[in-house]
Amino acid sequence: MWELFQSGGPVMWPLLLCSITALTVVLERAWFWRSFNVEHDRKAAEKLLNECRDKEDACLSEIGLKHPEAGGAVTRMLLCGLVQSRFSMTKAMEAAALLEVQRMRRGMGILDTIITAAPMLGILGTVTGIISSFDMLAQSGTDDPHAVIGGIAQALITTAAGLIISIGALFPFNYFNSRIESAQDILESYATRLEMLQDKVECKQQ
């Protein structure tokens, strides 16, 4: 393995850095989504909405203040809206949802960059390797064509390495993006339900 790595040339070092970085981000994001218990959070959010519905005559901000801590993204967003219900519930929830989405997207830009950069680095290593092989051919002529062919074969190692890194990072990248989109839909759904509940409370108070 070490000989194969060395035969790829100096471009293999940035490719190694890309692979380590991608693996670190994937493991960190996998741990994040493992702890992101959507079902438990939705149960807590439903309980909070039911409490608001049962106490329609009470001020919604008072209900929010009774729950200063929340474990999940949906519940945290709803509580921010409840606390700021006297001023601007919608903007408060938008700001809270934005913070939650930023937490979900942490590291995704790095993965996206590696998916794009790794194949390009591989091609760069191949091109430089082929240039070196043709330099050998120009110096030695056709006396030793096997050395030139071997040099070209070794140069292709970087392309293979870059593609492996890119493909390996692509699948978790798409999976994490699908989880983010699903979480955004859930946040939007619960925010809309709370806004409708607030409109109902305001109509009854009038």
What domain range is 6 assigned to?
2-205
pLDDT in tens, 39-62: 778 888 888 888 777 665 455 655
Contact criterion met (CB below 8 Å) for 194 and 93: yes
Residue type, 28: E
What does the pLDDT read at residue 48? 80
**In the block, which residue shows the tokens 């039911």?**
50
**CA angle (105, 106, 107) in 5-degree steps:** 110
pLDDT at 1 over 90: no
- What's the whole-model pTM score? 0.81
Rounded Cα–Cα distance for residues 14 and 7 (Å): 14
pLDDT at 176 over 70: yes
Total number of domains in the chain: 1
pLDDT in tens, 83-116: 877 778 889 899 999 999 999 999 999 999 999 9
